[in-house]
């Protein structure tokens, strides 16, 4: 049995960080399959790193029994296009989609795309193991399939403790290729870099039922790996590849004070590892910043989103201008860089709120903020905002059962119905942010000019 796991090519013109962020989810599934099904041959292909035509040739040459493709909002149509070509090439290849997009859009996907056999919701490890063991899909938890009438239905996933999974398998990728991508961006020859994930889920999203209104990551529970396991993974990556800089991709690293305290307590005596990762502003206290610093964190990403408290309330962000400022000052005093991101066009956005946000950002820069990224809001599947726009009476027929979207247009419609300014006002102010030093525009709207045959 052969399984090929594919990270499809991004549909955007420029995606930050793709050249050095390996597909950790696929490496985790690959590790699990190698551990549980030793007879299964697993390979990972990252279409971001090879010319488009070669991806198809590689898959056809491999001719796997199962093709598993990861999906996000940035590569779903690329995933479908490859799946369709491969299904025509060999109808017997089982095609499975997983990842954040398919986890939410499984019903629409199975309704509209006959060449997709199954969608996996949430963790891919056990569903893929069971598919390899030829368990009937309608008995596999976490799989969505079609019934005899062709109607999609889902077998709800079970929540598995993260320590029950093996660490992602780095031997399945060419780690050197990602290191070269990292050096190209950071030019830091001392840094041998890896990504790790120690936690899954966000307490804020779970406790409030929806989290931030724009959040497209549906995870039913907050889970952590044990701090011992994470340090062991770090030391293994250091022993095997010399890794010393780690990008921690958990949704927020400060969700649990107890976890961070224990991770801090177990740090190596001569700790010369460096980390960067994500946190919520409201979770940053002096104590947490001190733990982070002593563990080796030198940069924290914070979604500040807006500087206007009404907008932050409408967004259910659970923070305020004061909280953002406090977090920036605390991190600065602890010697940790702050990388803040803004989202323009959140519910209720107006020229006044955009100006308030601009002043807030200037204040943050004066108080220790290091870098700012700015993007214009696009309501993605899995978020409350996506449901709000899709279910708008004027639009519900248009978007009924649709699995692909014209995102720039979708964003414009969002602004029309949920903001108090025009799309052009938002574009104008984003240009003004872009002129600030250490600020850059994260372009959500420039897509590769291509018609997808899906």
Quote the tokens at residue 184.
């190209």
What is the Cβ-side half-sphere exposure of residue 311, based on CA atoms within 13 angstroms? 27
Among 205, 245, 326, 412, binds ligand SF4 (CB under 6 A): 205
Tell me how far, at minimum, the Cβ of 97 lies from ligand SF4, in Å: 22
Judged by CB under 6 A, the chain residues 172 through 201 that form the site for ligand B12 are 197
In the bound state with ligand B12, the residue whose beta carbon lies nearer, of 255 and 324, is 255
Judged by CB under 6 A, the chain residues 318 through 347 that form the site for ligand B12 are none
**Judged by CB under 6 A, does residue 120 bind ligand B12?**
yes
Q: Compute the distance between CA of residue 276 and CA of residue 246 in angstroms, rounded to an integer.
A: 7
Among 4, 30, 49, 100, binds ligand B12 (CB under 6 A): 100
Among 128, 215, 340, 369, binds ligand SF4 (CB under 6 A): 215
Residue 54's DSSP bridge partners are none
Q: Of the listed pieces 132-140, 201-209, 358-366, 394-402, which binds ligand SF4 according to CB under 6 A? A: 201-209
Tell me how far, at minimum, the Cβ of 366 lies from ligand B12, in Å: 28
Binding map of ligand B12 across residues 212-241, x = CB under 6 A, - = no contact: ---xxx------------------------
- Which option in ligand B12, ligand SF4, none does residue 73 bind, with CB closer than 5 to 8 A by kind? ligand B12
- Which option in ligand B12, ligand SF4, none does residue 7 bind, with CB closer than 5 to 8 A by kind? ligand B12
Q: Compute the distance between CA of residue 264 and CA of residue 333 in angstroms, rounded to an integer.
A: 19
Neighbours of 450 (CB within 10 A): 11
Is the distance from CB of 62 to CB of 82 less than 8 angstroms?
no
DSSP string, 423-438: HHHHHHHHHHHHTSTT
Neighbours of 166 (CB within 10 A): 16
Among 30, 68, 227, 347, binds ligand B12 (CB under 6 A): 68
Give the Cα-Cα-Cα angle 363, 309, 284 (nearest 5 degrees). 65
DSSP string, 389-402: HHT-TTTHHHHTT-
Tell me how far, at minimum, the Cβ of 393 lies from ligand B12, in Å: 24
Q: Compute the distance between CA of residue 402 and CA of residue 411 in angstroms, rounded to an integer.
A: 16
With tokens 């870099």, the residue in question is 193
Among 32, 84, 280, 360, binds ligand SF4 (CB under 6 A): 280
In the bound state with ligand B12, the residue whose beta carbon lies nearer, of 205 and 360, is 205
What is the Cβ-side half-sphere exposure of residue 353, based on CA atoms within 13 angstroms? 24
How large is the greatest C-alpha to C-alpha distance in the chain, in angstroms?
63
Residues that bind ligand B12 (CB under 6 A): 7, 10, 12, 15, 17-18, 21, 23-26, 28-29, 68-70, 72-75, 96, 98-101, 120, 123-125, 127-128, 197, 215-217, 249-251, 380-382, 442, 444
């Amino acid at each position: 049995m052969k399984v090929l796991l594919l990270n499809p090519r991004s549909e955007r013109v420029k995606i930050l960080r793709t050249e050095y962020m390996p597909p950790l989810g696929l490496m985790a599934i690959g590790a699990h399959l190698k551990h549980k099904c030793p007879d299964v041959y697993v390979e990972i292909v990252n279409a971001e790193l090879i010319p488009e035509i070669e991806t198809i040739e590689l898959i056809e040459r491999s001719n796997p029994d199962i093709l598993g493709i990861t999906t996000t909002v940035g590569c779903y149509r690329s995933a479908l296009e490859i799946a369709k070509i491969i299904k025509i090439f060999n109808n017997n290849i089982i095609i499975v989609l997983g990842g954040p997009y398919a986890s939410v859009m499984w019903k629409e996907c199975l309704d509209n795309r006959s060449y997709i056999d199954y969608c996996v919701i949430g963790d891919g490890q056990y569903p893929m193991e069971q598919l390899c063991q030829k368990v009937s899909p309608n008995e596999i938890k976490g799989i969505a399939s079609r019934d005899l009438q062709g109607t999609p239905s889902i077998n709800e996933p079970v929540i598995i403790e993260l320590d029950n999974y093996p660490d992602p398998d780095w031997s399945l990728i060419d780690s050197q290729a990602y290191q070269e991508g990292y050096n190209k961006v950071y030019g830091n020859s001392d840094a041998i870099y890896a990504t790790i994930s120690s936690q899954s889920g966000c307490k804020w999203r779970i406790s409030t039922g929806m989290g931030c209104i724009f959040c497209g990551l549906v995870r039913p529970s907050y889970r952590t790996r044990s701090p011992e396991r994470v340090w062991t993974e770090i030391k293994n990556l250091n022993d095997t590849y010399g890794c010393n800089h780690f990008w921690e991709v958990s949704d927020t690293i400060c969700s649990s004070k107890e976890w961070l305290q224990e991770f801090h307590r177990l740090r190596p005596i001569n700790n010369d590892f460096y980390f960067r990762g994500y946190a919520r502003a409201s979770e940053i206290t002096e104590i947490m910043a001190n733990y982070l610093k002593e563990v080796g964190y030198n940069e924290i990403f914070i979604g500040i989103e807006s500087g206007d408290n009404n907008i932050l309330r409408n967004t259910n962000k659970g923070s305020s201008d004061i909280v953002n400022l406090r977090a920036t000052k605390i991190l600065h005093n602890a010697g940790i860089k702050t990388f803040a991101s803004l989202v323009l066009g959140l519910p209720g956005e107006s020229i006044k709120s955009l100006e308030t946000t601009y002043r807030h950002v200037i204040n943050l820069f004066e108080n220790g903020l290091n870098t700012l990224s700015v993007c214009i809001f696009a309501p993605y599947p899995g978020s409350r905002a996506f449901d709000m726009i899709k279910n708008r009476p004027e639009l519900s027929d248009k978007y009924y059962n649709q699995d692909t979207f014209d995102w720039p247009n979708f964003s414009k419609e969002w602004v029309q119905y949920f903001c108090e300014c025009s799309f052009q006002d938002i574009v104008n102010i984003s240009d003004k942010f872009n002129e600030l030093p250490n600020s850059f525009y994260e372009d959500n709207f420039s897509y590769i000019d291509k018609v997808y045959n899906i």
